[in-house]
Amino acid sequence: MRVLTIGGTQFVGRHVVEQAVAAGHDVTVFHRGMSEPEDLPPVEHLHGERDGGIDVLAGRTWDAVVDVCGYAPRIVRLSANALAGSVGRYCFISSESVYAEPYPPVVSEDARLATLGAAQGEWSWYGPLKVLCERVVETVFADRALVVRPGYVVGPLDTTDRFTSWVRRASLGGTMLAPGNGQDVLQFVDGRDLGAFVVGLLEREVSGAFNADGEPLTLGGFLATCARVAGADTEVAWLAEERVRKQHLEELFPMWEGGEFGRVVMDASKARDTGLANRPAEETIADTLAWDRERGLPPLKAGPTPEHEARLLAALR
């Protein structure tokens, strides 16, 4: 199979590329040329800007394209129209953020989708714009359109540090701070499993929309597993949700929503029935910890700093 990826040198795109190459497929990566990791598998690189700079793709054909970096419908329309006669299938990597609030207790692929008219607050546009991107792809490619909606994508190579911040802190032992009471739902999908799932769908020429996520855990159970995997003696001090809200600390705790969102489960059974294989959480945690240590434990982009955590813990006593 000949596969084109739009993006593909970082995290999600890179995992798709690595899985496709490992499966024996010929891969072309279209990107801006700002990042070409030396350890990326041998692939063809085409450089250009997807906003008006995709002429380099003209005259070429592929069996499938995977669009891992589409956020604006106008930009996605450019690539979809340009590739309509050149690729067999268009896979758009969307997001579970496409679903409209309030969520039902279990969110499946037929749940109501978000609209820009209902968007309120910071980042509220992200999900509705992804919905419009999906519609562009579905309009242009019809039954050749494939939409994958991941939840939190985690594991090695994730430089957002959302997941990594929890894994690292739990590995250090002592008393750590966490929001809520430990019972909020937490779901995530390992980027390697997501990549393998996408490649498998393309190999079988599957169309339609799929939630891609892991089995639901509790935040408390997840942190206990992180500590166990690291062999650390870690105790969690829970900061009540009311205090989190009152002190406006929501953004301090990545991957945590609380409230009604803390009880919502994203249903990925359709994906699992169609080939998504989620590795054990313990494996993702161990590999993330090893990757974090290998990169030298840099300052984290997410989670509280040690000093901030210490101040908040002191206030709990």
Question: Per DSSP, which regions of the chain are E strands?
Answer: 2-6, 26-31, 44-47, 62-67, 87-93, 106-107, 145-150, 153-154, 174-179, 185-186, 189-190, 208-212, 217-218, 234-239, 265-266
289 alpha-carbon distance from chain centroid = 18
pLDDT at residue 245, rounded to an integer: 96
Question: Domain 2-150: what homologous superfamily?
Answer: NAD(P)-binding Rossmann-like Domain (3.40.50.720)
pLDDT at residue 119, rounded to an integer: 58
What is the rounded CA–CA span in Å between residue 257 and residue 184? 8
CATH assignment of 162-186+215-264+280-316, given 2.60.120.10, 3.30.310.50, 3.40.50.261, 3.90.25.10? Answer: 3.90.25.10
| pLDDT tens, N- to C-terminus, the chain (317 residues) | 999 999 988 999 999 999 999 999 999 999 987 777 778 888 999 999 999 889 999 999 999 999 999 999 999 999 999 999 999 999 999 999 999 999 999 999 999 999 987 656 666 789 999 999 999 999 999 999 999 999 999 999 999 999 999 999 999 999 999 999 999 999 999 999 999 999 999 999 999 999 999 999 999 999 999 999 999 999 999 999 999 999 999 999 999 999 999 999 999 999 999 999 999 999 999 999 999 999 999 999 999 999 999 999 999 87
Q: What share of the chain is helix, strand, coil (3-state, %, to 5)?
A: 40, 20, 40
pLDDT at residue 118, rounded to an integer: 61
Domain ranges of the chain: 2-150, 162-186+215-264+280-316
Q: Which tokens is 36 given?
A: 């070409």
pLDDT at residue 39, rounded to an integer: 81
pLDDT at residue 19, rounded to an integer: 97
pLDDT at residue 199, rounded to an integer: 98
Residues found in the chain: 317
Number of Cβ atoms within 10 Å of the Cβ of 206: 14
